[in-house]
Amino acid sequence: MTKILIKQHSISVGSQYKIFINKREEFYAETDAFSSSIINVYKPNELQPYFRTFKSFYIDYPKYKIEMPDGERYQLVSKNVWKTKFQLKKGDDIYELYRHKERKVSVFKNDVQIAYWEKEAINYLLADSYEIIANKSSEKELLIAFCLILDNLNSKGGFIFNVDFGLIIKEKRKFNKSWKPI
């Protein structure tokens, strides 16, 4: 099992995050100085992004590109108007993300669940926090990118104190409470 903790800084220019994998700081991320729809993810003490995400132009459903460390690019696309299902094709693999009630998101690879995360219900000074629980063999960078994209897409700005009630419309797929990471 792998645990990934993404903690957003409460006071920063743009969005900034610290990212821990199994309690060890592995990355930090921040929105680009010129565009809040670009998120650069860095390894500690490095000046060049390790990977990044950016919003694509779209008319119908939101689309984000993910540029991985090997230079490959993938596109995460919303598959419905309410943004409760997202899909990414990577070679022969299909990743699907489903938003659920109670601020949860499940991640599936080829229709097999590989991870989920949960967002805290209450935040102060717009400092969101996410805990991703994943299979040990999961692609950690991809899971981090998914989470940062949904945070970027769903961030609303707001007040010093915010409460997130989660998804209030019908779920596309029910959350599997019995799922356990391997």
pLDDT of residue 169: 66
pLDDT of residue 168: 61
pLDDT of residue 13: 60
Give the count of beta carbons closer than 10 Å to the beta carbon of residue 150. 21
pLDDT of residue 160: 54
Q: Give the H/E segment covering residue 74.
A: strand 73-78
Burial of 11 (0-12, 13-18, 19+ CB in 10 A): exposed
For the chain, which residues score pLDDT lower than 70?
Answer: 10-14, 81-83, 121-127, 154-169
* pLDDT (tens digit per residue) in 62-109: 789 999 999 999 999 988 766 689 999 999 999 999 998 878 999 999
CA distance to 34, 35, 46, per residue, from 130 (Å): 25, 23, 24
